[in-house]
Amino acid sequence: MKSKFLALCAATAALMVGATAAQSATLDTVKARGKLICGVSLSTPGFAAADDKGRMQGFDADICRSIAAAVLGDGEKVDFVLTNINTRFQALQSGEIDVLSRQTTATFSRETSLGIDFGPTVFYDGQGLLVPKSLGVASAKELTDAAICTLPGTTTSQNLTDFFRSIGGKFELVVFESPDENRAAFYSGRCEAISSDRSDLASIRAVANNPDDYVLLPETISKEPLAPAVRQNDSNWRDIVSWSVYMLMAAEEKGITQANVDEMTKSEDPEIQRMLGGADELGKMLGLDNKWGYNVIKSVGNYAEVFDRNLGEKTKLGMTRGPNTQWNAGGLLYAPPVR
């Protein structure tokens, strides 16, 4: 009986080793290359847009940097690939990029039919509508028969159809291939409204010549949980992406910041010690250095820091945290325990 048990253990261990080898493909590729290749949007201020020095800035860009820091120890070891609405999933499926961090909604059909897996929700969003203030509209319910600008290959069209059907109204969908064309058409008056995720609409309003000329209507007509995506059947890589995100959330909850992370390595809190590599060997479980969590926070800070500098109330977007606050402050952010 004992010999059969040992044989079973040996067989199980062999299967686990084989599975780990198969699932570590992306990690091995990134380490060998010395850079992470991350897919982001073409130009969405607040989420991903190059500054005047050519450096990619934004919330999604910082998610990329957090992953690069976890894997390579340096958040700057990342190449950004610009992807559009129609090619973003193809770029991931083909291996052109290692991870997609591009204001992408996690949905049932995408995860089950596109050969991709989503990581944790990094931004709880919802679809809305932006209109010129001069239109005199106070509610989306007043937009019956309106022309509404949007982009192809998104969940926007279906959500609009569902919303207007629920109120017994109709609308004209006007589709443009690129974000620049979409924005220009809306600014020029080609459409009475433009619809997208509310975070995207905040960006569109922020880059208008006169942002105060536009108003974001109060209705949120859908749930849009935005999350990074990876290729299916690489569970180790998905774990790395997921826990890089969770580290940002956990750091905020524990009061660890980019500025105080070195001091916090002296903390007597057992979980903080595990997070920053001072206790246990959690890094080995991911195939990473044991200071991977420290590297994430040192590179980009915690979730609040990432949000505030890219999207927060002191930026042009002027967004409040809303549901993107910690669970213990009435929000939806919840990192599993690091243990």
Same domain, 179 and 305: no
Mean pLDDT of the chain: 91
When pLDDT is cut at 50, 70 and 90, the band that residue 178 belongs to is confident
Report yes or no on 296 lying in a domain.
yes
Same domain, 119 and 131: no
Say how far apart CA 161 and CA 166 lie, in whole Å: 9
pLDDT at 139: 96
Same domain, 74 and 95: yes
Q: For 289-327, what is each residue's pLDDT tens digit?
A: 999 999 999 999 999 999 999 999 999 999 999 999 999
Same domain, 115 and 152: no
Q: Give the residue-averaged pLDDT of 172-195.
A: 94
Say how many Å lie between the first and final Cα of the chain, rounded: 34
How many domains does the chain contain in total?
2
Give the SS3 label for residue 172. strand
Report yes or no on 76 lying in a domain.
yes
Which phi and psi angles does 272 have, rounded to 5°?
A: -60, -40
Contacts of 231 (CB under 8 A, 6+ apart): 26, 92, 93, 95, 115, 116, 117, 237
pLDDT at 24: 57
Same domain, 55 and 67: yes
Helix or strand (DSSP H, E) at 299: helix 292-300
Report yes or no on 9 lying in a domain.
no
Report yes or no on 51 lying in a domain.
yes
pLDDT at 8: 33
Same domain, 235 and 115: yes
The tokens describing 72, both together, are: 């390579």
Q: For 217-271, what is each residue's pLDDT tens digit?
A: 999 999 999 999 999 999 999 999 999 999 999 999 999 999 999 999 999 999 9
Whether residue 2 has pLDDT greater than 60: no
The structure's pTM equals 0.87
Whether residue 122 has pLDDT greater than 80: yes
pLDDT at 93: 96
**Residue where one domain finishes, among candidates 222, 244, 262:** 222
Same domain, 203 and 83: no
Q: For 94-121, what is each residue's pLDDT tens digit?
A: 999 999 999 999 999 999 999 999 999 9
DSSP labels, 237-294? HHHHHHHHHHHHHHHHHHT--TTTHHHHTT---HHHHHHTTSSS-HHHHHTS-TTHHH
Report yes or no on 334 lying in a domain.
no
Report yes or no on 46 lying in a domain.
yes
Residue 10, classified by CB atoms within 10 Å of its CB into exposed (0-12), middle (13-18) or buried (19+), is: exposed
What is the CATH number for 171?
3.40.190.10
Interhelix angle 59-72/292-300, rounded to 10 degrees, is 150
Q: Give the residue-averaged pLDDT of 131-136.
A: 96
Same domain, 120 and 232: yes
Please give the residue range of the domain that contains residue 265: 25-124+226-329
Type of residue at 35: K
Whether residue 10 has pLDDT greater than 90: no
CA 86 vs CA 125, 149, 186, 252: distances in Å: 21, 17, 21, 35
**Residue where one domain finishes, among candidates 222, 255, 282:** 222
Whether residue 30 has pLDDT greater than 80: yes
Same domain, 250 and 201: no
Residue 43 CA, distance from chain mean position: 15
**Residue where one domain finishes, among candidates 222, 237, 261:** 222
Residue 46 has what DSSP assignment?
T
Residue 143 has what DSSP assignment?
-
Same domain, 218 and 82: no
The tokens describing 31, both together, are: 């380490």
Same domain, 133 and 119: no
Report yes or no on 99 lying in a domain.
yes
Report yes or no on 10 lying in a domain.
no
Whether residue 6 has pLDDT greater than 50: no
Beta bridge partners of 333: 326
pLDDT at 85: 84
Same domain, 133 and 196: yes
